[in-house]
Structure 1
Amino acid sequence: MKATDKKIIIIASATLIIGLLMGWLLFGGNSVSHNDSKQVSSETTTETIWTCSMHPQIRQNEPGDCPICGMDLIPLEEEENEGIDPNAIRMSPTAMQLANVSTAIVEEMGTTKKIQLTGKVQTDERLVNSQASHIPGRIEKLLVNFTGEFVKKGQTIAYIYSPDLATAQEELLEAQKIADYQPELFDAAKGKLKNWKLSDRQIQHILSTGSTQTNFPIIADISGYITSKNVNLGDYVKRGEPIYEIANLSKVWILFDVYESEMSWIKKGDEVEFTIASLPGEVFNGTISFIDPVIDSKTRVAKARVEFNNKNGQLKPEMFASGIVKSTLPKQSNAIVVPKTAVMWTGKRSVVYVKSSSDKGVNFILREVTLGAALGDSYLVKDGLMKGEEIATNGTFSIDAAAQLAGKPSMMSPEDGTDIAEDNHESHSVSSISISSKAKKALQPLYTSYFEWKSALADDNFEEAKENAIGMKSALANIDMELFKDDAHHTWMTYQENIGENLEHVEHTKDIEALRKIFQPVSNAMIEMTTTFHPNDDVIYVQHCPMADNNNGADWLSKEEEILNPYFGDMMLNCGEVTQEIK
């Protein structure tokens, strides 16, 4: 090989080696850097965020317990929103199970409503009579000395001394002597005694003995129970003056209270199934025979009358009665009815979460609905839902909380994403109604009872909570509606009916959970009334617990910022948060 060829080979080899070295330096290092970056990126994207199914605002980089409720934290799953509504919130089966979310298909059904009524047993007014003295004089003897005693028709119930009657007897005896010559005078003397309710037998006894009687008996005109005793021994009575009131209790009335909001459901002829508090285990049936045409201006109720055949005397006046009427809304065909647990109410609008499914999983989207009448545990939906759609019936507040965190439309956030506080402030300023200082003062006993009720529930004190709830009902009934003028008058009537309807049966509650169930709708009405009237000088806090009401969430008012949960008491005393300040 020539030297020139060797030189060429050496130069080419050196060039190749240098090229490979430069290529490794330029591209190999970048590849390693790219792989390292990719690995770091992968590690970064796979870092798990942990949250609480009940309190989705909790975010941690490691597993553990929720600092609010103590539940185990769960991994926060990334949403894959391709192909679904951008306003929908996706939930995995695990999240739905932990949040206790359940759903139901919307169906049409008859709008039958169970209406609970409370009332009292009363005497039948048509069977109440006054036992009067037909003779003027002085009561010499009382054979019936107390109320509640039973008397029979024809029974002697008292004796009376009457100078006028003694004179009339002497006139009769004198007229008897000349009866053959002046029979008209004799008949007139007997007629005078008959007008004083002396019987033919008594008159004949006077004539046959030829002597006058000083004390005459008073005979019961009817059978029944003495319900009122109006005289005492030695009293002077006039002719026709009532000395006893006698009631025949073979038939009685049960008078039930019917609130304005329920008037459209109750009608004459409806069947009522009722129980008596003092007769546990027994169920009675009757028919509404009459409904008052006038509503009481203070209690805002009308009386519905049920007549009951009481031959065995089981029912006694003033006994408490609880009744149920199953009624159908007039002129209402089959309609869409949803459970109350499915509906979230903000005071101005009502919303539900409609479920949809895709290959990506289960999604929920907010839907505003128009509600009709309340049907016990359900609502009639006038607009917003169609038959066959599937909605969330439990766990709706958990879904809503997830929607809020994701920045999507939720119960408390309008479609344009306006912040809840701004939205509430605007709506309250628009809906606020000015009331007089007298009206504000009249509302204070209502608030006092409410806050005491809240505190007793937080302390798990059933007896005190029940007493405060009854006190709130009494305070509500004592508020003079005339203090509210113009728009405030109509608004107050709405709040009064709402609160009164929920407090209607509070006296019959048997445990603290029943009181807590009543406390929730009362709190909703109180919150709305507070934001409308602003009757308090101090700041009032609206507080919320997402786990109350079977994880649907519930609100209440508090004078203190500190959370003292009335729905759980000592079990989860500090579970909740302040959602609004009403100043």
Structure 2
Amino acid sequence: MQNIMKRYIPAAVFIISVYGLTTSCGSKKIPEKSTQWTLTDSLLRTLAVDTATAMPLESEIYLTGKISENEDKTARIFPMVSGIVTDVKVHSGDFVKKGQVLAVIKSPEMAGFTADQRINSNDMAIAKRNMEVAESFYKSGLNSQKDYEEAKRNYDKAEAAYNKSSAVLAINGGGHQTNYAVKAPVPGFVISKKTAENMQWRPDNTDPIFTVADLNNVWAVINVFESDISSIREGDPVQMSTLSYPDKTFSGRIDKIYNVLDPETKVMKARVVVDNPGFLLKPEMFVRAQAKRHADSNQVSISSRGIIFDHDKYYVLVLTNAKPGVVIREIKVSKTVEGRAYVASGLQEGDRIIASRQVFIYNTLSDQQQ
């Protein structure tokens, strides 16, 4: 029995020793390696980066106005003879072609123009025959050169008188005997008609007998109040809507600013040139206009795509030279216009802002800071 115990005691001691060694090793804490997220160069190359810039703060300004015909493409027609209107062939709103007869006026002046042309035509024919006879006599020695030259001068005078009377008749519409034809000098729509059959017309009438306008593009004359004069500039884009087409937007640009104030309404006029496909816009139509308001002071601006909204606050990720290479910056946004945010505080001109995958990076940095 003692021999058996002697034989197993060393084995037991060995097992206890091994167990003790194992236990002592397990109770020792192995230090963990700390890690911190950083923005690597390879990741940075895949990101979109915007730069904060200083630019004038822009907002919208709302104006009213009305549609007017384009004065550069409008013809106001004044007959140059007096008489009685015997026939009116068109009415307001009609489309007319160039040279189309709009009305006919019976005028004694036209009879005089026609008679003058006929008389001058006969005088020119007689003067021509006399010149030919004088030339024949001069060549045969029966007439002097002076007589021939005088006959030629008479013919030149008669020809000039005929050409003048023909030009006067043509300017006044040609016509036949006593009729004067009022014709459209340009194609377009009749937007004004100031005549009727049997009406007497005098050349000193202040209103045109017809007004014809090309309405392929029109003017929108908008009212600018005194407080908004400094906010608009020539070339500014303008968006307009009308009561007739509330769901349709018409675009144009401020073509001219009239630098005078109306003494009664205290408003300044600005002109917007608007393309008018389909002739939807009519003269005298009321319009609402929306333009950009310019400010004299600059403010830091960034693209709104890089802004993060979290817990009722705005944040951006600003690139830095120190690790982790990016920091979270809280900003105050004063206004957002057409994809650009104007920042009141939190950024400086030249700051570089991460504008893609910014939510993932923001969450990673936020978790790390907790």
TM-score calculated relative to the size of structure 2: 0.53
Contact 1:115 1:376 in 2 (8 A): no
* 1:245-300 Cα deviation digits (max 9, x unpaired): 22222221112222222222211121112222211322222111222212223323
Q: Which residue of 2 aligns with 1:197?
A: 170
Question: What's the Cα RMSD here?
Answer: 3.2
The structure whose RCO (Cα within 8 Å, separation 6+) is larger is 2
Distance 2:230 2:120 in 1: 70
The percentage of aligned residue pairs carrying the same residue is 29
Contact 1:114 1:375 in 2 (8 A): no
Q: Which residue of 2 aligns with 1:188?
A: 161
Distance 1:320 1:198 in 2: 39
**Alpha-carbon shift at residue 239 of structure 1 (Å):** 4.1
Q: Which residue of 1 aligns with 2:77?
A: 131
* 1:413-434 Cα deviation digits (max 9, x unpaired): xxxxxxxxxxxxxxxxxxxxxx
AA matched with 2:185: D
The correspondence for 2:257, drawn from 264, 284, 291, is: 291
AA matched with 2:59: K
Structure 1, unpaired ranges of 5+: 1-107, 204-211, 336-373, 378-385, 389-583
1:171-250 matches, within 5 Å, as: 171-182=116-127, 183=155, 184-185=157-158, 187-197=160-170, 213-239=177-203, 241=205, 242-250=208-216
Q: Residues 171, 299 of structure 1: CA spacing in aligned structure 2 closer, same or farther, 3 A cutoff?
A: closer
More strand by share: 2
Q: Residues 270, 238 of structure 1: CA spacing in aligned structure 2 closer, same or farther, 3 A cutoff?
A: same
Distance 2:70 2:200 in 1: 30
More helix by share: 1
Distance 2:62 2:204 in 1: 45
* 1:363-393 Cα deviation digits (max 9, x unpaired): xxxxxxxxxxx9899xxxxxxxx947xxxxx
Q: Residues 284, 312 of structure 1: CA spacing in aligned structure 2 closer, same or farther, 3 A cutoff?
A: same
**Alpha-carbon shift at residue 327 of structure 1 (Å):** 3.2
AA matched with 1:229: K
Q: Residues 120, 167 of structure 1: CA spacing in aligned structure 2 closer, same or farther, 3 A cutoff?
A: closer
**Alpha-carbon shift at residue 234 of structure 1 (Å):** 2.1
What secondary structure does 2:219 align onto? Answer: strand
Q: Which residue of 1 aligns with 2:109?
A: 164
Distance 2:283 2:335 in 1: 32
Q: Residues 238, 188 of structure 1: CA spacing in aligned structure 2 closer, same or farther, 3 A cutoff?
A: farther
Structure 1 residue ranges, 4+ long, deviating more than 4 angstroms after superposition: 374-377
1:121-520 matches, within 5 Å, as: 121-144=67-90, 146-182=91-127, 183=155, 184-185=157-158, 187-197=160-170, 213-239=177-203, 241=205, 242-334=208-300, 387=345
Contact 2:56 2:297 in 1 (8 A): no
Distance 1:160 1:190 in 2: 24
Q: Residues 333, 185 of structure 1: CA spacing in aligned structure 2 closer, same or farther, 3 A cutoff?
A: same
* 1:519-553 Cα deviation digits (max 9, x unpaired): xxxxxxxxxxxxxxxxxxxxxxxxxxxxxxxxxxx
- 2:60 pairs with 1:114: yes
**Alpha-carbon shift at residue 131 of structure 1 (Å):** 0.9
Distance 2:228 2:74 in 1: 31
Contact 2:56 2:296 in 1 (8 A): no
What secondary structure does 2:102 align onto? Answer: strand
Distance 1:178 1:195 in 2: 17
Q: Residues 284, 213 of structure 1: CA spacing in aligned structure 2 closer, same or farther, 3 A cutoff?
A: same
**Alpha-carbon shift at residue 307 of structure 1 (Å):** 0.6
Q: Residues 260, 171 of structure 1: CA spacing in aligned structure 2 closer, same or farther, 3 A cutoff?
A: closer
Distance 1:218 1:328 in 2: 49
Contact 1:172 1:186 in 2 (8 A): no
What secondary structure does 2:67 align onto? Answer: strand
Contact 1:258 1:302 in 2 (8 A): yes
AA matched with 1:148: G
TM-score calculated relative to the size of structure 1: 0.35
Contact 2:232 2:292 in 1 (8 A): no
Structure 2, unpaired ranges of 5+: 1-53, 128-154, 302-333, 338-343, 347-370
Q: Residues 266, 375 of structure 1: CA spacing in aligned structure 2 closer, same or farther, 3 A cutoff?
A: farther
Q: Residues 224, 315 of structure 1: CA spacing in aligned structure 2 closer, same or farther, 3 A cutoff?
A: same
Contact 2:105 2:182 in 1 (8 A): yes
The aligned length equals 225
1:534-553 matches, within 5 Å, as: none
AA matched with 2:96: V
**Alpha-carbon shift at residue 311 of structure 1 (Å):** 4.5
